[in-house]
Amino acid sequence: MLVSGIRRNKYHDGGRLRFGPDGKLYASTGDAQNGAYAQDRSALEGKVLRLNPDGTVPSDNPFGNYVWSYGHRNPQGLAFDSQGRLWEQEFGNSIMDETNLITRGGNYGWPACEGTSGTCGTAGFIAPVRTYPTAEGSCSGITIVRDALYVACARGARMYRAAISGSSLTNVQTYFSGTYGRLRTVEPAPDGGLWLTTTNQGDKDSTPNNSNERVLHVTLGN
């Protein structure tokens, strides 16, 4: 066990893990359906956590604990770009989902701010780089290949591709809209393509003997 004391609930548990180029382990945690946790910098919920591989707290973390960034509702995908920057994909509530560029000690506004709705102008809140309507999003896994960000979406049943240009996402394109249903995970394949996983059965209602899912392989163009 590396970290204990992360509160959970039926929903909003986050749960993505990613090693960074700094050798640290980053973990996303949901707010456990209690938005107040997200703004509490002493709580581990509604955060991106950063820890040493042995489970200790890195000495350069901003708040003297595992918390790297806060103000998250239900952070899902994590991915690092060629500059070593951390990108995060987050489930919104009922209005919009977020793609965020994570900074050390950053506050991403939940529960006062969802995407660009609510009191997002509050001093210190960091705006998302891109938002998606929840009906076209509910995006979970992300990965970065050749400085293009790929986003797998569940409710939206599609994959997005966006070029990383500075601190912006440009030339956003949509693939597989409705073709394979809900998509949960996108990861780089050894041959330079992508792996995608579907999530069409049982992710909310715990359908017994659920095995009707697929792992897809995608070849990328040059």
Q: Can you read off the two tokens belonging to residue 192? A: 């330079």
Counting Cα atoms < 13 Å in the Cβ hemisphere of 102 gives 30
Per-residue pLDDT of the chain (222 residues; tens, 9 = 90+): 777 676 666 555 567 899 999 999 999 999 888 889 999 999 999 999 999 999 999 999 999 999 999 999 999 899 999 999 999 999 878 788 999 999 999 999 999 998 888 899 899 999 999 998 888 878 889 999 999 999 999 888 999 999 999 999 999 999 999 889 889 899 999 999 999 999 887 655 555 555 578 899 989 876
Q: How far apart are CA 205 and CA 176, in angstroms?
A: 25
| 181, two tokens | 């249903």
User: Which residues does the annotation mark as catalytic?
Assistant: 12
Give this prediction's pTM. Answer: 0.91
CB 174 within 8 A of CB 158: yes
State the Cα–Cα distance between residues 46 and 71, nearest whole angstrom.
6
